[in-house]
């Protein structure tokens, strides 16, 4: 059987996984996007369903505004213990409200999660380890060191001092620690080299949970640095074994679109087979390398498995009932800004524009394919100068392209605009009499193409290079989103924008 990486496409970094019987549950970082910390379920490790999020209520967590692509929920870890699922995570707010490490829990990962339990533990990238003697350990990253301490799961209280246990092999930014016990050894898995092109996974082990830890002689045990492989920046992994006692790892990686390397989908979730050598060290992938295409007979396949390694390549949303789980807001959502009804999805534009790092009347879904086609039917009747609603490709508030209906000098127009850093320009605008328009967005590896439908004709209004909407050009930790939005650009909109349906087709 051959499967292809990534197993979860689009911006899904820092994967962590746990197994309960034949069910697998996986979580990712989500940063400033809300709901936060997506939760996936699978029974075969290849086909994953988004079943919910850990952070679904504004009352749970405040996401700091004003720092695009670098605040919010970082590097969650999911673990199962005594009938309860725990997700421990960092909320990065740079000293703002709800800053620091916390955990949430649930008995049912398909349902709601608890309010956060806050932890007196510094740093980032937290993890839990439940030892055989009943002690719960917190493992974290602070000041270039991996440390551990004991915590009380009921209160979140720290009940021991911090103890540094390893600093890695000398690479910068040792982080993302996970602790396991196997064949009498404690194994510590971390990442080094920064979450860029020198990213790598290293392993150390000890007979005592507190160390000293000896480094694997083959470190790094997984990295694609300096190799001409299609997947780059491999790192931040989690180890686990399936119901057949086969070992695996999930990790992040990127798929660049050009040379010099640039990527626009963000860091994605990959799956790596793992075996143990005669000396008791893990061997990841192809002798420490991660391939895009992997052949294996070890997948825990179920009877309902029909296709392996294919992303959902078509989504048609008529916005009836509840909002689909793949839609996100930027920051905590504004009450009343989004409504679902018989007409479709209504957005009540506020004064915040696409160029501001603030709560927009905006919903978006991750770009999951380099080549895709998206379209939407919009009804909008702008009344005042500056009111607009439309379809955008969005990396952050300083890097985005959009097509919109707007009002200029007493007339309704269609507009295509690009913003790249501090530079922005309305590239095209044409008169438009109707209040309803079908917009489309096509993408390949080089360009995003925006246009509208007139009768049976598809008219391209403008295009923008993908290279300017990449992490290397203007981003930090997230990938691109396809967004629907409404704004008054300094004032509230008089009328709501109604998106009657949305379609996404990936190739």
**CA-to-CA distance for 253 and 237, rounded, in angstroms?**
10
| Secondary structure element (H or E) that encloses residue 482, with its range | strand 481-487
Q: Cα angle at 281 between 276 and 287, to 5 degrees?
A: 70
Question: CB 67: neighbour CB atoms within 10 A?
Answer: 18
Residue 324 tokens read as: 């689909």
| Candidates 14, 192, 387, 402; catalytic one | 14
**Helix, strand, or coil (residue 467):** helix
**Active-site residue, 297 included:** no
224, 253 in Cβ contact below 8 A?
yes
User: What is the CB-side half-sphere exposure of residue 185 using CA atoms within 13 A?
Assistant: 18
**CA-to-CA distance for 394 and 86, rounded, in angstroms?**
32
Q: 21-31: b or e for each residue (b if 16 or more CB lie within 10 Å)?
A: eeebbbbbbbb
**Interacting residues of 269 by C-beta distance below 8 A, sequence separation 6+:** 6, 7, 8, 12, 13, 15, 26, 28, 250, 251, 252
**Active-site residue, 238 included:** no
| Candidates 173, 175, 268, 388; catalytic one | 175
73, 55 in Cβ contact below 8 A?
yes
DSSP at 67: S
CA distances from 52 to 22, 325, 339, 340, 358 (A): 19, 6, 19, 19, 24
**CA-to-CA distance for 268 and 253, rounded, in angstroms?**
5
**Interacting residues of 154 by C-beta distance below 8 A, sequence separation 6+:** none
Residue 216 tokens read as: 């694997």
**CA-to-CA distance for 496 and 340, rounded, in angstroms?**
12
Instruction: Name beta bridge partners: 177.
Output: none
**Helix, strand, or coil (residue 8):** strand
DSSP at 151: B
Residue 119 tokens read as: 């932890």
DSSP at 258: B
Catalytic residue numbers read 14, 175
């Amino acid at each position: 059987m051959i499967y292809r990486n990534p197993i979860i496409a689009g911006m899904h970094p820092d994967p962590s996984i746990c197994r309960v019987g034949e069910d697998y549950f996986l979580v990712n970082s989500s940063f400033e996007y809300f709901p936060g910390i997506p939760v996936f379920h699978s029974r075969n490790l290849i086909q994953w369903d988004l079943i919910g999020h850990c952070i679904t209520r504004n009352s749970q967590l405040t996401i700091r505004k004003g720092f695009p692509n670098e605040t919010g929920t970082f590097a969650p870890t999911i673990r199962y213990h005594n009938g309860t699922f725990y997700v421990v995570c960092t909320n990065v707010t740079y000293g703002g409200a709800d800053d620091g490490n916390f955990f949430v829990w649930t008995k049912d990962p398909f349902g709601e999660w608890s309010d956060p339990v806050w932890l007196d533990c510094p740093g980032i990238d937290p993890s839990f380890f439940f030892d055989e003697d009943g002690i719960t350990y917190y493992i974290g990253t602070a000041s270039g060191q991996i440390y551990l301490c004991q915590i009380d799961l009921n209160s979140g209280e720290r009940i021991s001092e911090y103890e540094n246990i390893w600093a890695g092999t000398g690479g910068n930014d040792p982080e993302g620690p996970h602790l396991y016990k196997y064949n009498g050894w404690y194994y510590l898995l971390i990442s080094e080299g920064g979450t860029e092109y020198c990213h790598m996974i290293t392993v150390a082990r000890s007979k005592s949970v507190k160390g000293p830890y000896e480094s694997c002689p083959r470190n790094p045990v997984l990295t694609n640095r300096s190799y001409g492989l299609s997947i780059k920046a491999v790192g931040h992994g989690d180890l686990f074994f399936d119901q057949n006692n086969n070992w695996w790892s999930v990790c992040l990686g990127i798929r660049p679109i050009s040379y010099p390397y640039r990527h626009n989908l963000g860091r994605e979730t990959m799956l790596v087979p793992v075996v143990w050598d005669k000396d008791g060290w893990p061997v990841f992938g192809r002798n420490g390398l991660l391939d895009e295409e992997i052949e294996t007979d070890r997948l825990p396949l179920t009877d309902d498995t029909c296709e392996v390694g294919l992303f959902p390549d078509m989504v048609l949303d008529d916005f009836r009932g509840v909002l689909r789980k793949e839609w996100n807001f930027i920051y905590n959502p504004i009450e009343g800004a989004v409504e679902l009804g018989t007409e479709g999805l209504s957005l009540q534009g506020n004064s915040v524009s696409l160029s501001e790092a603030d709560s927009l009347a905006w919903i978006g879904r991750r770009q999951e394919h380099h080549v895709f086609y998206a379209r939407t039917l919009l009804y909008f009747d702008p009344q005042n100068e500056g009111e607009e609603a439309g379809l955008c490709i969005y990396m952050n508030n300083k890097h985005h392209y959009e097509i919109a209906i707007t009002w200029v000098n007493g007339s309704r127009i269609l507009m295509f605009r690009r913003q790249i850093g501090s530079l922005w320009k309305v590239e095209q605008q044409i008169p438009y009499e109707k209040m309803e328009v079908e917009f489309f967005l096509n993408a390949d590896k080089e360009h995003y193409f925006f246009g509208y439908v007139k009768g049976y004709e598809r008219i391209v209004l403008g295009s923008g290079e993908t290279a300017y909407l990449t992490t290397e050009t203007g981003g930090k930790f997230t990938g691109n989103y396809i967004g629907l939005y409404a704004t008054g650009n300094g004032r509230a909109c008089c009328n709501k924008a109604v998106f009657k349906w949305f379609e996404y087709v990936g190739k």
